[in-house]
Structure 1
Amino acid sequence: MEPDDWLKRWQRKMPFGPWPLSEMDEMIREIERSFAEQFKNIEKEIPKNLVRERRLPDGSTRKEIGPIVYGYSVTIGPDGKPVVREFGNVKRGATQPWKEIQDRREPLVDVVSSDRDVKLIAEIPGVRREEIDVTVNEQRVIISVDTENRKYYKELDLPWLVRPEEAKSTYNNGILEITLPLKSPKGAGVRVKVE
């Protein structure tokens, strides 16, 4: 007995005939065809280095897409107000988000300031220290990694002036920490005579 035999018997017993279920079957098949077509179109638009094939233990292969990352980081700024930052490799508000996916990921970066310096703490897993490129000027930091397997990119505009020539950074267990001394520590200043 076939698995569909019970369905055919049930359709024959229906008082109004089998037509409602056969139409429903056709609608479901049409939805499945539509989904398959849409997924093929999405797969064509995604950057090629985000699509990988993985061999399973039984010898078959499986396509994987990713990583596709999008999120928010909420912290409290120096003025006591919340600071919301987006991160990831998908543009917000896109009508067709798969067309806006970048092949490089935007790392999550936390900014911690003190009276003397600013610390940037970035999550950059899966790379080696020598693959990380950090560029600093007085008000901007650019972090980038461009390897075959991992790509990261982040530009940060700083609300403070820093001394880039005295910047220091360390990388350990996927965490990059950059320390930037402030150009003039907060609270320090020059007295100006009022005339």
Structure 2
Amino acid sequence: MRDDRDDPFGDIFDEIERMMNQMTGAGTHGGDSGFGTETHVSVQHEDEEVRLLADLPGVGKDDIDLKCDGRTLTISARSETRRYDERVRLPVRVDEHSASASFNNGVLEVTFDAMEPSADIDVE
């Protein structure tokens, strides 16, 4: 059985996909701006916390949908004139159930508790 966490090329392929989407305009709706154009996304990993900030101009709090599988955060936001769809690969595995999010003045902030990268197993 394959474990995606052990894929040595996962980060490279995610970055290539992100760049291709940015160049081709994938993830935008009807030519409207989406991630990679006027939207800035930053991810910070500090000690035991991962924090993501995303600019989502022109959308309301109720127009945002967030999903996380522990490694990737999916942000979908839509208004009458804009649509944003982005998958953000997180720098470390996170506890998706620890997530908290706020949205103020067009800026989305999401925080997670970082998980230990791996556990040591004692052989007896």
TM class by shorter-chain length?
0.5 to 0.7
The Cα shift of 1:168 comes to 0.3
Paired amino acid for 1:162: V
47, 64, 86: which one aligns with 1:132: 64
Query: What's the CA shift string for 1:95-149, capped at 9, x where partnerless?
Result: xxxxx57325013210110111100000001211111111111111011112221
Paired amino acid for 2:65: D
**Structure with greater contact order relative to length (CA < 8 Å, sep ≥ 6):** 2
Name the residue aligned to 2:9: none
The Cα shift of 1:176 comes to 0.3
Q: In the alignment, does 2:50 pair up with 1:111?
A: no
The Cα shift of 1:178 comes to 0.3
- Would the alpha carbon gap of residues 141 and 191 (structure 1) be closer, same or farther in structure 2, given more than 3 Å must change? closer
After superposing on structure 2, the runs of 4+ consecutive aligned residues of structure 1 that deviate more than 6 Å are none
Q: Is the 8 A contact 2:59 2:78 kept in 1?
A: no
Structure with larger Rg: 1
Between Structure 1 and Structure 2, how many residues are aligned? 102
- Would the alpha carbon gap of residues 154 and 190 (structure 1) be closer, same or farther in structure 2, given more than 3 Å must change? closer
Q: Secondary structure at the match of 1:142?
A: strand
- Would the alpha carbon gap of residues 178 and 193 (structure 1) be closer, same or farther in structure 2, given more than 3 Å must change? same
Aligned identity (percent) is: 28
Query: What's the CA shift string for 1:69-89, capped at 9, x where partnerless?
Result: xxxxxxxxxxxxxxx99x89x
Q: TM-score, normalised by structure 2?
A: 0.67
- Cα distance in structure 2, aligned partners of 1:170 and 1:142: 15
Name the residue aligned to 1:144: 76
- Would the alpha carbon gap of residues 116 and 173 (structure 1) be closer, same or farther in structure 2, given more than 3 Å must change? same
Q: TM-score, normalised by structure 1?
A: 0.44
84, 98, 105: which one aligns with 1:173: 105
Name the residue aligned to 1:161: 93
Alignment map for 1:15-164 (pairs within 5 Å) = 91-92=22-23, 100=25, 102-103=28-29, 105-106=34-35, 107-164=39-96
Higher strand share: 2
- Cα distance in structure 2, aligned partners of 1:192 and 1:143: 35
